[in-house]
A = this chain, B = another copy of it.
């Protein structure tokens, strides 16, 4: 099993099981703290600016709030929104809200933006960036829509669906990063951590078995 060597402690500023899953898949050790910030867009703030600001503020809020963090911790934060027809769509508040979101996606393309932020506590340096993916939905018939609404899956997901769950059969195609749609563009985050020397590729001890 290929692993990473960790040279700095990591903290995930998120309680999202999907973000935890991405880091665990790569064998990374990390603490988790849930940021508490006001997640309301400012007047005339663009969706892209908003999602970057959210990721940025989540990392900073965790740094300020948790006094027991190691001084040299690297804090990782992410925020994901769904954008359609000029509107930012968060998690649905009711079944009707989820039905409205999914109905408007039917047969059309929407965008998913994930902002991510990597904060080096010891230097204060912070990298914040954004990934955008276009997601095209199949034309949803009423049976499929009601079946999906009844699966419980829509209710804690931005845009009311989970591409990695049962919602996979709603999606015709995507254009861009898949992990971004899941909620954490891991193909951006890990190279950033290695490029800064905070983690590194572990030496292999089993190479010969494949030659």
Residues of A within 8 A of B (CB): 1-2, 25-26, 94-96, 98, 133, 138, 143-144, 146-152, 155, 163, 165-166, 168-179, 186-187, 190-191, 194, 200-202, 204, 206-207, 210-211
Contact = CB atoms under 8 A, between A and B. Distances in A.
Nearest to A1: B151
A144 B191 CA distance: 9
A206 B152 CA distance: 9
Nearest to A134: B175
11 contacts: A1-B151, A25-B166, A95-B207, A95-B210, A147-B202, A150-B206, A150-B210, A168-B186, A169-B187, A171-B177, A174-B176
A201 B146 contact: yes
A157 to B, nearest CB: 13
A174 B163 CA distance: 14
Which residue of A133, A150, A204 has the most chain B CB atoms within 10 A of its CB atom?
A150
